[in-house]
């Protein structure tokens, strides 16, 4: 089992992830786009660039109503990326198996803080999805599936690091492999597709001379 | 599958391009858009969540462009779309969305939700699921030339009155004029003071302009109902009128959706660029002001604000011009808390005001505007869209508010300095 999880399944899941992501992004970038015959008032590119970053901060007009989602969203995403890129085992894994070099990992206390942020954010967002009438109505099976899968990946990862059992490490790696294979076929793709999405909309606003 | 459904699905399928694919791939169903939509905030009904209104197109995208959707279709375990699905969404899209686009401003992943809702509307229109009031208006626009059934004779009668009242000649079918002015149905039927104001301002500024007997109507019911072919047909009438008179620029009137239809979507509806420019009346007036050709005198002392029409400001980019024009005249001007590109809609855009079935919901949605106005306690609301003005007048009357609605062009005409500015 360890051989399968550390070997063929890892490479297979990585291949599915990479090919799937490239395929999905290619499907967006190279899909037909209708020409716009209207005369632009302003340039599209600066609008696209601006919107790419401006949407990281909510409009002040709506911020009070969505505060919980914004704070929970930032806690989850920042915590998750900190764990992914700076947890000691991840840095070592990247150095020995992927890039051939590493960087300074985060100290143990930072790992604890980041994981607590990530868990808190994810749980709040998921509870909101389940309890808020709007989120409950519009959520799909996939939305719940990615939340559960991500939760399992984070939980097994923390347990593996804190307890140090080989079985837990394998369980974490296996859950990561499932997550990687599900990624291109799920809303996890927003990790990449938010870029063209924001850019398309920003370009549209830019052409019309709208500050968005 | 019924022929109606097939037509609707084919129309929606044709709308799935790279943008739509990126939007649906990015949406994580966070529901933030709900808080930006006045139909949700004023009813608290989750069905009015903007992204939920796009559900028919999302389902189609999922079944034809995603792995799981294709697999489910192949295995015969997916639930195919039915006429009933489209019928269910008709009310949400036509009654519960004014196409104001506020949702598109707040989506964290940048989904232009209003754009997708229009695509759904197009599918519904092609499938024959549109409200009776809009269908009738669209038919009249095609048959008679105007959604309110206004004929050239009606316009000529109005012109006669305006000429008598102002002592100015209203130029009609003047070949080689620089500008061709269009009117919306509301401006002909309800607010003839708009044409009177144009005549006064253009005489003051020395603008060479004309009306066209072939193309006087700017209202585009095709856009409102979501039928691109009819929208294109109505735009072609303006193009032909402009070409016949050899004008350099067409002026879109104080009507939000007419501006969208003509300035931004028109060339796409007909599949080619225009040979003339299109400007909104406020753009032209601000240009004249900047050139020193439009001079006003006197001040309005009433406490007043400006209502930003969504199609002109948020979706049209004409935000600074009305404020530039108001500044010299409004002594006691105050902005609403949410204004400019984040202003709240009046509740009647996107064809809602032409849809009798939506009357109650429209008035409920107006409560948002009422709250905004109550907060700043103004006596006068200036706007630059005859539809917004009409909807807000209804809302003001229904709520017994002590607020006066005024068109910006009309206010400028009332403050013109004596003599010609040039």
What is the pLDDT averaged over residues A95-124?
95
CB atoms within 10 A of CB B87: 14
Q: Is the pLDDT score of A104 beyond 80?
A: yes
- Give the DSSP letter of residue B345: P
Residue A212 resides in a domain:
no
Please give the residue range of the domain that contains residue A56.
2-31+39-207
Strands, sheet with B404-407, edge to edge from the N-terminal-most edge strand? B330-333, B300-307, B380-383, B404-407
Q: Is the pLDDT score of B100 beyond 80?
A: yes
Give residue A183's pLDDT: 98
The number of distinct structural domains making up chain A is 1
Q: Does B69 touch chain A (CB under 8 A)?
A: no
What is the pLDDT averaged over residues A91-113?
94
Q: Does A104 touch chain B (CB under 8 A)?
A: no
Helix H or strand E encompassing B152: helix B152-166
Q: Does B276 touch chain A (CB under 8 A)?
A: no
Chain B residue with minimum CA distance to A41: B317
Radius of gyration of chain A (CA): 20
Tell if the CB–CB gap between A38 and B26 is shorter than 8 Å. no
Question: How does strand B330-333 pair with strand B380-383?
Answer: unpaired
Contacts of B28 in chain A (CB under 8 A): 143, 187, 190
Give residue A162's pLDDT: 77
Residue closest to B20 by CA, chosen among B97, B128, B99, B113: B113
- Three-state DSSP class for B402? coil
Q: Does B265 touch chain A (CB under 8 A)?
A: yes
Give one DSSP letter per residue of B223-237, joined into a string: HHHT-HHHHHHHHHH
Give one DSSP letter per residue of chain A, joined into a string: -HHHHHTHHHHHHHHHHHHHHHHHHHHHHTS------SPPSS-HHHHHHHHHHHTTS--TTTHHHHHHHHHHHHHHHHHHHHHHHHSHHHHHHIIIIIIS---PPPPHHHHHHHHHHHHHHHHHHHHHHHHSHHHHHH--HHHHHHHHHHHHHHHHHHHHHHH--HHHHHHHHHHHHHHHHHGGGSGGGHHHHHHHHHHHHHHHHHHTT---
Give residue B421's pLDDT: 63
What is the pLDDT averaged over residues B128-156?
92
Query: Which of B50, B108, B286, B308 has the most A C-beta neighbours within 10 Å, making it the best mutation to test the interface with A?
Result: B108
Q: Is the pLDDT score of B420 beyond 80?
A: no
CB atoms within 10 A of CB B248: 14
Identify the CATH number of the domain in which residue B121 sits. Answer: 1.10.1060
B326 with B210, same domain: the answer is no
Residue B422 resides in a domain:
no
| Residues 325-364 of chain B whose Cβ lies under 8 A from any Cβ of chain A | 337-338, 341-342
The number of distinct structural domains making up chain B is 3
B92 with B124, same domain: the answer is yes
Please give the residue range of the domain that contains residue B341.
292-413
Give residue B422's pLDDT: 61
Q: Is the pLDDT score of B90 beyond 70?
A: yes
ipTM over 0.90: yes
Residue A80 resides in a domain:
yes
Residue A72 resides in a domain:
yes
Beta-carbon contacts of B130 under 8 Å, excluding residues fewer than 6 positions away, are: B90, B94, B124, B225, B226
Strands, sheet with B179-181, edge to edge from the N-terminal-most edge strand? B209-210, B179-181, B249-252, B277-280
CB atoms within 10 A of CB B397: 9
Identify the CATH number of the domain in which residue B352 sits. Answer: 3.40.50
Counting Cβ atoms within 10 Å, is residue B35 exposed (0-12), middle (13-18) or buried (19+)? buried
B7 with B90, same domain: the answer is yes
What is the pLDDT averaged over residues B337-345?
96
8 A C-beta contact, residue A23 and residue A183: no
What is the pLDDT averaged over residues A178-196?
97
Chain A residue with minimum CA distance to B30: A135
B163 with B116, same domain: the answer is no
Tell if the CB–CB gap between B267 and A37 is shorter than 8 Å. yes
Identify the CATH number of the domain in which residue B242 sits. Answer: 3.40.50.1860
Chain B residue with minimum CA distance to A196: B22
Residue closest to B314 by CA, chosen among B100, B116, B114, B111: B100
Over residues A44-96, the pLDDT tens digits come to: 999 999 999 999 999 999 999 999 999 999 999 999 999 999 999 999 999 99
Percent of chain B predicted with pLDDT > 70? 99
Q: Torsion-angle region of residue B400: left (phi > 0), alpha (psi -120 to 50) or beta?
A: left
Query: Residue A137: which of B46, B111, B338 has the nearest Cβ?
Result: B46
> How close A110 comes to chain B (CA, Å)?
28
What is the pLDDT averaged over residues B381-398?
97
Question: How does strand B330-333 pair with strand B300-307?
Answer: parallel
Residue A199 resides in a domain:
yes
> Which of B95, B129, B163 lies at the terminal end of a domain, its last residue?
B129
Chain B residue with minimum CA distance to A40: B264
B278 with B154, same domain: the answer is yes
Phi then psi for residue A121, to 5 deg, are: -60, -45
Q: Does A89 touch chain B (CB under 8 A)?
A: no
Phi then psi for residue B305, to 5 deg, are: -135, 175
B118 with B30, same domain: the answer is yes
Query: How confident is residue B201, by pLDDT bands cut at 50, 70 and 90?
Result: very high
Over residues B230-283, the pLDDT tens digits come to: 999 999 999 999 999 999 999 999 999 999 999 999 999 999 999 999 999 999
Query: How confident is residue B78, by pLDDT bands cut at 50, 70 and 90?
Result: confident
> Which of B250, B267, B289 lies at the terminal end of a domain, its last residue?
B289
Give residue B68's pLDDT: 93
| Residues 7-26 of chain B whose Cβ lies under 8 A from any Cβ of chain A | 17-19, 21-23, 25-26
* pTM score, whole prediction: 0.94
8 A C-beta contact, residue B343 and residue B307: yes
Tell if the CB–CB gap between A27 and B21 is shorter than 8 Å. yes
B147 with B117, same domain: the answer is no
The span from the CA of B96 to the CA of B103, in Å, is: 13
Size of interface A-B (CB pairs under 8 A): 162
Over residues A124-183, the pLDDT tens digits come to: 999 999 999 999 999 999 999 999 999 999 999 999 987 778 899 999 999 999 999 999
8 A C-beta contact, residue B224 and residue B351: yes
Chain A residue with minimum CA distance to B310: A210
Residue A77 resides in a domain:
yes
What is the pLDDT averaged over residues A37-46?
96
The span from the CA of B151 to the CA of B157, in Å, is: 10
Tell if the CB–CB gap between A187 and B52 is shorter than 8 Å. no
B342 with B381, same domain: the answer is yes
CB atoms within 10 A of CB A4: 13
> Which of B129, B151, B181 lies at the terminal end of a domain, its last residue?
B129
Q: Does A54 touch chain B (CB under 8 A)?
A: no
| Residues 84-103 of chain B whose Cβ lies under 8 A from any Cβ of chain A | none
8 A C-beta contact, residue B27 and residue B51: yes
- Determine which of B17-21, B73-77, B273-277 has the lowest per-residue pLDDT on average: B73-77
Tell if the CB–CB gap between B338 and A31 is shorter than 8 Å. no
B285 with B138, same domain: the answer is yes
Identify the CATH number of the domain in which residue A157 sits. Answer: 1.20.950.20
B283 with B167, same domain: the answer is yes
8 A C-beta contact, residue B297 and residue B417: yes
B175 with B115, same domain: the answer is no
Q: Is the pLDDT score of B1 beyond 80?
A: no
> How close B160 comes to chain A (CA, Å)?
35
B19 with B165, same domain: the answer is no
Residue A8 resides in a domain:
yes
Query: How confident is residue A97, by pLDDT bands cut at 50, 70 and 90?
Result: confident
């Amino acid at each position: 089992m360890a051989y399968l999880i550390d070997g063929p399944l890892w490479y297979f899941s990585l291949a599915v992830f990479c090919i799937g992501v490239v395929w999905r992004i290619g499907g967006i970038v190279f899909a037909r786009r209708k020409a716009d015959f209207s005369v632009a008032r302003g340039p599209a590119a600066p609008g696209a660039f601006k919107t790419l970053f401006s949407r990281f901060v909510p409009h002040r007009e709506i911020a009070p109503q969505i505060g919980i989602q914004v704070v929970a969203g930032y806690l989850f995403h920042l915590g998750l990326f900190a764990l992914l890129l700076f947890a000691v085992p991840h840095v070592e894994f990247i150095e020995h198996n992927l890039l051939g070099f590493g960087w300074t990992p985060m100290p143990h206390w930072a790992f604890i803080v980041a994981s607590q942020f990530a868990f808190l954010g994810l749980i709040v967002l998921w509870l909101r999805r389940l309890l808020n009438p709007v989120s409950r109505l519009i959520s799909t099976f996939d939305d719940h599936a990615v939340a559960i899968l991500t939760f399992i990946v984070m939980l097994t990862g923390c347990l593996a690091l804190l307890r140090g059992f080989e079985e837990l490490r394998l369980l974490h790696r296996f859950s990561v492999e499932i997550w990687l294979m599900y990624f291109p076929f799920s809303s996890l793709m927003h990790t990449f597709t938010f870029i063209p999405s924001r850019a398309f909309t920003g370009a549209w606003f830019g052409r019309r001379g709208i500050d968005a | 599958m019924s022929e109606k459904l097939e037509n609707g699905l084919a129309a929606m399928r044709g709308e799935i391009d790279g943008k739509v694919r990126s939007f649906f791939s990015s949406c994580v169903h966070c529901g933030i858009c709900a808080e930006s939509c006045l139909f949700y905030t004023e009813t608290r009904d989750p069905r009015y969540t903007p992204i939920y209104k796009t559900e028919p197109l999302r389902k189609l995208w999922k079944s034809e462009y995603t792995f799981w959707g294709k697999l489910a279709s192949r295995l015969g375990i997916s639930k195919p779309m039915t006429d009933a699905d489209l019928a269910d969404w008709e009310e949400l899209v036509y009654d519960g969305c004014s196409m104001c686009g506020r949702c598109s401003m707040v989506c964290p992943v940048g989904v232009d939700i209003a754009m997708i809702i229009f695509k759904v509307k197009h599918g519904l229109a092609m499938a024959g699921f549109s409200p009776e009031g809009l269908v009738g208006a669209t038919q009249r626009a095609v048959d008679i030339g105007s959604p309110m059934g206004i004929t050239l004779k009606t316009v000529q009668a109005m012109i006669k009155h305006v000429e008598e009242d102002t002592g100015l000649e209203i130029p009609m079918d003047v070949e080689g004029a620089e500008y061709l002015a269009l009117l919306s149905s509301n401006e002909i039927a309800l607010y003839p003071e708009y044409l009177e104001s144009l005549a006064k301002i253009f005489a003051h500024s020395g603008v060479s302009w004309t009306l066209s007997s072939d193309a006087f109507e700017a209202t585009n019911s095709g856009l409102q109902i979501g039928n691109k072919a009819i929208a294109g047909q109505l735009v072609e009438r303006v193009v032909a009128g402009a070409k016949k008179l050899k004008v350099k620029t067409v002026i879109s009137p104080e009507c939000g959706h007419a501006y969208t239809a003509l300035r931004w979507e028109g060339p796409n509806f007909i599949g080619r660029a225009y040979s003339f420019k299109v400007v909104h009346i406020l753009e032209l007036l601000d240009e004249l002001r900047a050139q020193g050709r439009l001079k006003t005198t006197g001040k309005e002392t009433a406490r007043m604000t400006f209502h930003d029409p969504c199609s002109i400001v948020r979706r049209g980019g004409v935000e600074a011009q009305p404020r530039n024009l108001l500044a010299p005249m409004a002594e006691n001007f105050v902005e609403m808390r949410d204004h400019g590109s984040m202003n709240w809609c009046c509740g009647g855009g996107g064809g809602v005001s032409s849809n009798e079935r939506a009357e109650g919901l429209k008035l409920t949605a107006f409560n948002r505007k009422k709250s905004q106005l109550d907060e700043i306690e103004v006596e006068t609301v200036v706007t630059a869209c005859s539809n917004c003005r009409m909807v807000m007048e209804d809302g003001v009357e229904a709520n017994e508010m002590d607020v006066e609605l005024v068109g910006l062009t009309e206010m400028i005409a009332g403050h013109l300095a004596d003599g010609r500015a040039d």
